[in-house]
Amino acid sequence: MDFGKYLSDRGRDVMARLEDASIGNVLAQYPGLTWQELVKPEYADPNTVPEYVDVVNKINMGTAATPTIPMFIAQAANGTIEGTQPGGPGVGAGDGVMITGDVRTLARKYCDAGLPIQYDQYDTISHFLGAMLWLPGALTWIDDRFTGKPVPSNCASIAPGNSLAPQEHAR
């Protein structure tokens, strides 16, 4: 998809520099970069870009089929180190990459389908630092599956999150 017609001069420059970059490179080189900095003023609301809305709705895990296996889901919840401030009403905190409330809602959806889910939330750290806590937790969780230990589930303690309803086109 060609988003070029929506980009501001700065947006074209950033996209040219980072077209093949990892998210880590983007965050390191442009901490706190916002959508509004990338697009022309008339597209300040992402939902005014039909291609954006279509892509976001295609990758919305909340509308995808529910998995059928137990899971370990971990989410950091403080993205300020990456330059991501907490979102406004209806969005809430994120970890610099993902929105915490969205992940919680997805975990709760899987719980509601009867899956045992272990959800861990790291409130004081960001996405990349969260990997340092996630990895040992994930390895322990997997090792426990191979040794026949019961699958843990903390579904009842997962806080409510955000709506995962598809985005709507703005006018």
Dist. CA 157–CA 111, nearest whole Å: 11
Lowest mean pLDDT among 113-117, 153-157, 163-167: 163-167
Dist. CA 1–CA 49, nearest whole Å: 12
Dist. CA 120–CA 73, nearest whole Å: 6
3-state helix, strand, coil in the chain (%, to 5): 50, 10, 45
Beta bridge partners of residue 74, listed in sequence order: 120
Mean pLDDT of 111-123: 96
Strands 71-76 and 117-122: parallel
* pLDDT given at position 30: 83
CB 108 within 8 A of CB 161: yes
Dist. CA 58–CA 66, nearest whole Å: 15
The residue with greater pLDDT, 100 or 80, is: 100
**How is 54-80 classified by DSSP, letter by letter?**
HHHHHT-GGGSPPPSS-EEEEEE--GG
Residues whose CB falls within 8 Å of the CB of residue 57, separated by 6 or more in sequence, listed in order: 63, 166, 167
* pLDDT given at position 134: 94
150 phi/psi in degrees, rounded to 5: -60, 145
pLDDT-derived band of residue 66, with 50, 70 and 90 as boundaries? very high
User: For residue 78, is pLDDT > 80?
Assistant: yes
